[in-house]
Chain A
Amino acid sequence: DADVTQTPRNRITKTGKRIMLECSQTKGHDRMYWYRQDPGLGLRLIYYSFDVKDINKGEISDGYSVSRQAQAKFSLSLESAIPNQTALYFCATRDRGSGSIAGELFFGEGSRLTVL
């Protein structure tokens, strides 16, 4: 089984619908992240969380919300999906690292979302 699991893997929806992408991890890491990937733009950070009660906006949080239900679970919601939210979404986890050196990011397999 994968250490970082995302569901659904693929989803097609219509403009205005509410969508939730879920992420769970078995690595025991405190830190969890949601990124989106678009061609030519690389991965952009949407939200991140360092603990269950900690939520932080990334560079492109508008139109998204998150919930950290437990250490192992971090979900991403699109309250009212729009076509330019069509992208590949990745969840990732990492540990605290050592000193000033950040730990390795471990990614889920991605959730491909298409908004029509």
Chain B
Amino acid sequence: RKEVEQDPGPFNVPEGATVAFNCTYSNSASQSFFWYRQDCRKEPKLLMSVYSSGNEDGRFTAQLNRASQYISLLIRDSKLSDSATYLCVVNDYNNDMRFGAGTRLTVKP
């Protein structure tokens, strides 16, 4: 079983749609959780950290469920510019960062 698993997609949605991605992790001792965004042929960049209480940044909402060991990302009112691959990242107990394979999103006019 992979340490961090994501639905690879692709998710193809119209502008304005709401889309949700899930990610599961295997190590219950994991400490920190993140969503990174990666545009085609570019480096990943931090989108948002995921806190235990859940957190929101504009149209983006991240949730953490430690009991079930999953993380979610919700994007409301999708924009064309949201098209990218979204990477779930978990900071492991020995302090290295493990990545999911990514979920690809395409937002269409």
B46 in the interface, Cβ–Cβ < 8 Å? Answer: yes
Residue A29 at the chain B interface, CB threshold 8 Å: no
- With A and B bound together, what is the CA distance between A110 and B4 in angstroms? 22
Contact A101 B46 (CB under 8 A): no
Contact B96–A58 (Cβ < 8 Å): yes
Within the complex, what minimum Cβ distance (angstroms) separates B91 from chain A? 4
Interface SS majority for chain A: strand
Q: Contact: B96 with A48, CB < 8 Å? A: yes
Q: How large is the interface on B (under 10, 10 to 19, 20 to 34, 35 or more residues)?
A: 20 to 34
Within 8 A of B (CB), among A50-88: 50, 56, 58
Using CB atoms, name the residue of chain A closest to B8. A40
- Residues in B with CB closer than 8 Å to A20 are none
In this complex, the interface size class of chain A, counting residues with CB under 8 Å from chain B, is: 20 to 34
Q: Which residue in B32, B34, B43, B96 is a CB contact (below 8 Å) of A100?
A: B32
Are A101 and B49 interface neighbours, CB within 8 A?
A: yes
The contact sample of 19 A-B pairs, CB cut-off 8 A, is: A33-B96, A33-B97, A42-B100, A42-B102, A43-B99, A45-B97, A56-B96, A90-B44, A94-B97, A97-B32, A100-B31, A101-B32, A102-B34, A102-B91, A105-B89, A105-B97, A107-B43, A109-B42, A110-B43
Name A residues whose Cβ lies closer than 8 Å to a Cβ of B: 33, 35, 40-45, 48, 50, 56, 58, 90, 94, 97, 100-102, 104-105, 107-110
